Chain A
Amino acid sequence: MSAKKVRPRLSKGILEMKFMQRTKAKVDKEIEEAEGREMYSQEITQKMLNSNSNYIMEPSFVHCENLIEGRLSFRGMNPEIERLLELEQADKLANTRHEQPTEVSDKDMASFYNAQQVTMQKKFQTKAQFKAKRNNVEKTKWQNKKARFHKPQEDDV
């Protein structure tokens, strides 16, 4: 009693039919793969199959020693090459220069965006919320002052 369910094989006659062409290609591929596995099963050891080695082979010195490109021109001998070199240099600089000097410090920016958030929140609050908040918040100095009529001084007039 096998746990695996053996898939029924389609007969050759059906596979030859026109509407079965895609299935036929799939079946053919499966058969081919199975044959391939069988053919190389002697040569592929278990170690090759499930070895995850920590070694990477690098046949070139270029990457080991960080060699530069070997085509160079100096002092206007070959303007075409020198232009390419300049472009490369510019690219390299652009890639290495990550940190740009900032005009606004991180702290300033954070406080600015905090303030912005409060402003936006105010726009979306209901009237009730607005009033509740107004009563809760301690009033600043000028809000505490009771509005009163000030008699204008004589020389103001």
Chain B
Amino acid sequence: MTEIVLPGDRICAAEELARSKKVILGPGLRRENEQVIACKPGRLHHKEPNTYWVDNHQQRYVPVKGEAVIGVVTAKAGDIYRVDIGAHDQASLSYLAFESATKKNRPDVNPGDILYGRLIVASRDLEPELVCVNSSGKKGKLGVLMDGFVMNCSLNLARLILRENCPLLRELTKEMPFEIAVGLNGRIWIKAKSQRETIALGNAILAAENASYEEMPKICENIGNILFS
């Protein structure tokens, strides 16, 4: 059950629930005293037991602490790298925020490189800060992305791909082996065995933006047929 809300609309269901228990307000909702008001136009979602959020179409990324994003290194400035993540300001990335990096042993990162990093500082008054290690100092899945191809898309598509029940990646896997990094800032990095396959993969992903879950297998199949015929 989804409902369209506009900025300024009061979310009475959330207010009702808040009288008896805790309510989690996700993106697109804000609280004015005891009123819950939508601040973005979009579809109101509710997840049991107590979460409400608004899913809206958006291209501009607003950094959020803890999210994984794809950035392009634009400059090396002393101890930090400047990374463009498509937000209001360039993110900074310390050269020590890589696995096994020390003052003497600098990571090999150059302007123009593509990075998959996690935001640890995201405030509207400060510049965002990225890291390429997890809390235990291991790189995990973060780090420089070699080769491949980056495309920009809406934030919605990035989230769509990452939903647990989305069949897109599962269906694409049947067609070809590939590697993907989805940044929540609306950037998708893909890499397949050949250029042809990479382009086909990119097209399939972009075509899936407005497709329903039922249509996705068909899109993937079509791409596969074109590729290997």
Judge whether A70 and B181 touch: CB under 8 Å: yes
A54 within 8 A of B: yes
Determine if B153 is an interface residue (Cβ-Cβ < 8 Å). Answer: no
- The segment out of B98-106, B159-167, B208-216 that lies at the interface is B159-167
A87 to chain B, nearest CB (A): 11
Q: Which of B47, B51, B140, B164 contacts A68 (CB 8 A)?
A: B164
Interface size on A, residues (CB 8 A): 28
Q: Please give the distance in Å from B126's CB to the nearest CB on chain A.
A: 15
Q: Is A66 an interface residue (CB 8 A)?
A: yes
| Cβ contact within 8 Å between B191 and A77 | yes
Contact (Cβ within 8 A) B162 A59: no
Q: Interface extent on B, as a size class? A: 35 or more
The answer, yes or no, to whether B85 is at the interface (CB within 8 Å) is no
Is the pair B21, A74 in contact by a Cβ cutoff of 8 Å? no
CB nearest neighbor in B for A78: B179
Closest residue of chain A to B166 (Cβ to Cβ) is A68
Quick check: which of B62-70, B75-83, B86-94, B221-229 contacts chain A, the rest being far away? B62-70
Q: Decide if A58 touches B173 in the complex (CB within 8 Å).
A: no
| Min distance, Cβ A50 to any Cβ of chain B, angstroms | 14
Closest residue of chain A to B187 (Cβ to Cβ) is A70
A85 → chain B closest CB, angstroms: 9
Among A55, A68, A70, which residue has the most Cβ atoms of chain B within 10 A?
A: A70
The 6 closest A-B pairs by CB, nearest first: A75-B177, A70-B182, A71-B141, A64-B26, A67-B162, A54-B18
Contact surface of B with A, Cβ cutoff 8 Å: 18-19, 21-27, 30-31, 36, 45, 47, 51, 53, 64-68, 116, 140-142, 158-159, 161-164, 169, 172-173, 176-184, 191-193
Chain A residues within 8 Å of B, Cβ to Cβ? 53-78, 81, 84
